[in-house]
Amino acid sequence: MRIDRGRALGMFAWAAACLLLSAVLAGCSETAARLPAVGLSGIGDPYYPTDGNRGYDVEGYAVTTTYDPATASFDSTTRVSARATADQPRFNLDLSSALTVERVTVNGEAAAFHQVEPHELVIVPPSPLEPGEALATVVTYHGPVGDSGPVSGWHALSGGGGVMAGEPHSCAFWYPCNDHPTDKATFRLTATVPARFTVISNGLEGPTSTVGSGAGATKTYRWHLDAPTATYLTTILIDRLTVRRSNLPDGTPVVDAYSPGARGQVRSESRLPEILGLLASRFGPYPAPAAGGLFVDAPVGFSLETFSRPVYTAGIPIDTIVHENAHQWWGDNVSIERWRDICFNECMATYAQWLWREHNGEDLDSYYRRSVNQVDFSQPLYDMGPGNEFTFEGVYQKGSYFEHALRRKIGDDTAYFAALRGIQRDFAGSNIGMLDFRDELTRRTGVGLRPFWREWVLSQERPSTDNLFPGTLAD
């Protein structure tokens, strides 16, 4: 994610609701109080204690939806293919209670269910689940989406369309999911809309079909992402779009989509092959099965690294395209363990903007020396607290200086970038925390980084001279 500088990001109303929900759940009913902990909401992230769910592992989502622009509503059926990981009489999915669930089946049989605000769908299968058991859950639901907030969820576009984008949340606003980066899954979307609209999503295009003619005609679009991804990295864009298709030099398909007011971004996006070529030279092969961008003309206030095809707000500069595509490696291919680890994503993606400037001839050491005194060292890069993950002065500003100092602390560019490529290769499709990232860099480069990490990442004070100006920065 890259936010508009100066935008207040203590706006996670969802976070406050999540923190309260644990207490609400405890008093819902005597029956709920007697149920075992397994199956209750919460995957274990202390920042958002009811996000995600325990007791199963999702393998894939298949969302089938019809969108009505007149009411901004979805009529949907989602199949969640999973496998149980524990004995449990019930399990939860994350789904906004603003959506009305009509029916749930588990392994082909009707299941009891109820919804708990703000986003818990509690499901009681016909018989208790056992570890290793296949879990095919089909949820039929409908409802108006509406704007879900400034940071996470649905963002209405002029003309009746919209885009789904948000971090740390978004999937629960439009399909039932296990809403945490540690449970990655494949994703398929079948979306039917009035024929005047186009639908773009993640991954590869499937066949498009049309029914009817004239004003009543509809089109059905199909998209599939077979590389497992975190749920907040899935998206749907519905608008009257200009779509451009091309290929990267290695044949990877590129789909770029532009809302009517965002067509001025074509020139910047035309440099995508050059951007991805640079990033691949530093981080390893491009990790997604497709590429491109979704350029919308709504005042969303941020851009987001949705996997294979980022979402961009109107008027973004080219370095935002660099930032969101760097996330395809840092955040998408290799993801965080907990939201306190967000520097792993944002610090490196912001530093990629520096790499782009270096690619275009800028001396980064010189820039660092003359501007480092502007950094607010009081901003934490680890465990900054819920709602504070995306503070500009933190993981974006201080984080980019941290990454350059880290590069110079390791000292050898060949060793530094080789270590980054090795982490991308060995942790592809999985998760890592900031402290494990430190230890992996040490293991791969032989450079002890604990004092450096303590001063830059774990402290909120100005680092010592040796760690503020390591290597060539001391010249």
Distance of alpha carbon 429 from the chain centroid: 13
**d(C-alpha 398, C-alpha 373), whole Å:** 11
Q: Are the CB atoms for 173 and 56 separated by under 8 Å?
A: no
Per residue in 21-35, pLDDT tens? Answer: 333 333 333 233 333
Q: Phi then psi for 468, rounded to 5 degrees? A: -85, -30
**d(C-alpha 54, C-alpha 88), whole Å:** 10
User: Closest Cα partner for 169 from 48, 347, 256?
Assistant: 48
**d(C-alpha 449, C-alpha 60), whole Å:** 38
Amino acid at 84: A
- State the average pLDDT over residues 2-10: 51
pLDDT bucket at 129, cuts 50 / 70 / 90: very high
* Cβ-based neighbour number of residue 411 at 10 Å: 13
pLDDT bucket at 2, cuts 50 / 70 / 90: confident
Higher pLDDT, 332 or 146: 332
**d(C-alpha 235, C-alpha 177), whole Å:** 13
Instruction: Write down the pLDDT at residue 147.
Output: 61
**d(C-alpha 221, C-alpha 206), whole Å:** 7
- State the average pLDDT over residues 413-432: 98
- State the average pLDDT over residues 140-147: 86
**CB within 8 Å of 283: residues ≥ 6 apart:** 326, 329, 330, 417, 420, 421, 424
**d(C-alpha 378, C-alpha 358), whole Å:** 27
* Cβ-based neighbour number of residue 289 at 10 Å: 16
Q: Phi then psi for 114, rounded to 5 degrees? A: -155, 155
User: Closest Cα partner for 391 from 376, 402, 403, 401?
Assistant: 376
The mean predicted confidence, pLDDT, of the chain is: 91
pLDDT bucket at 410, cuts 50 / 70 / 90: very high
Q: Which pair of tokens denotes residue 154?
A: 């649905």
- State the average pLDDT over residues 91-110: 97
- Phi-psi category of residue 356: left, alpha or beta, with phi > 0 → left and psi -120 to 50 → alpha: alpha
Q: Are the CB atoms for 63 and 192 separated by under 8 Å?
A: no
Distance of alpha carbon 124 from the chain centroid: 29
DSSP per-residue codes, 393-432: IIIIIIHHHHHHHHHHHH--HHHHHHHHHHHHHHTTTSEE
Rg (CA), the chain: 22
Ordered structural domains, the chain, with CATH = 2-333 (2.60.40.1730), 336-474 (1.10.390.10)
- State the average pLDDT over residues 466-473: 97
Q: Are the CB atoms for 126 and 68 separated by under 8 Å?
A: no
pLDDT > 90: what percent of the chain? 85
Per residue in 359-387, pLDDT tens? Answer: 999 999 999 999 999 999 999 999 999 99
Per residue in 173-225, pLDDT tens? Answer: 999 999 999 999 999 999 999 999 999 999 999 999 999 998 899 999 999 99
Q: Does the pLDDT of residue 275 top 50, yes or no?
A: yes
Amino acid at 122: V
Q: Does the pLDDT of residue 13 top 60, yes or no?
A: no
**CB within 8 Å of 312: residues ≥ 6 apart:** 262, 265, 293, 294, 295, 296, 303, 320, 321, 324
Pairing of strands 185-194, 242-247: unpaired
**d(C-alpha 137, C-alpha 35), whole Å:** 21
pLDDT bucket at 4, cuts 50 / 70 / 90: low
- For residue 68, with 0-12 CB atoms within 10 Å meaning exposed, 13-18 middle and 19 or more buried, which class applies? middle
Q: Does the pLDDT of residue 17 top 90, yes or no?
A: no
pLDDT > 70: what percent of the chain? 91
User: Closest Cα partner for 288 from 202, 347, 194?
Assistant: 202
